[in-house]
């Protein structure tokens, strides 16, 4: 095997180019990639933290909703039904029916009031 000076010079040139590429190109690119990875990890951590916060808020909202339901179930007002049949059975007075004169008086009052309002519109 015959090794001459050109092979040694080519090897030397190769290592110089490799060292320059590594120093000038690969190092900044690797730094940018690591920076992007760090940002991605930070964003994922923030997303996980927000998810946990939302889960806690949802559990608190459900707990408050459950407490409100229990409170209103325990303190609901007692509603008694009332019907006209109950009033008749208990001999309560019925409202008196309006007479024809009362109806005519109300109609006249409404008619004059409407006429006055219509006159003032124009």
One-character DSSP codes across 14-40:
HHHHHHHHIIIIIHHHHHHHHHHHHHH
Count up the domains in the chain and report the number. Answer: 1
**Is 11 a domain residue?**
yes
What is the rounded CA–CA span in Å between residue 122 and residue 118? 7
The domain in which residue 10 lies consists of 1-74
pTM of the model: 0.44
**pLDDT tens profile 88-108:** 555 556 667 878 888 899 999
**Is 106 a domain residue?**
no
What's the pLDDT score for residue 108?
A: 92
Is residue 94 a contact partner of residue 87, using CB atoms and an 8 Å limit? yes
């Amino acid at each position: 095997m015959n090794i001459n000076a050109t092979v040694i010079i080519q090897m030397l040139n190769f290592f110089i180019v490799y060292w320059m590429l590594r120093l000038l190109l690969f190092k900044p690119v690797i730094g940018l990639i690591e920076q992007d990875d760090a940002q991605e990890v930070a964003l994922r951590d923030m997303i996980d933290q927000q998810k946990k916060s939302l889960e806690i808020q949802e559990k608190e909202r459900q707990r408050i909703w459950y407490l409100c339901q229990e409170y209103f179930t325990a303190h609901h007002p007692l509603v008694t039904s009332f019907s006209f049949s109950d009033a008749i059975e208990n001999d309560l007075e019925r409202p008196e029916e309006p007479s024809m004169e009362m109806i005519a008086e109300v109609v006249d009052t409404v008619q004059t009031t409407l006429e006055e309002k219509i006159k003032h519109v124009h």
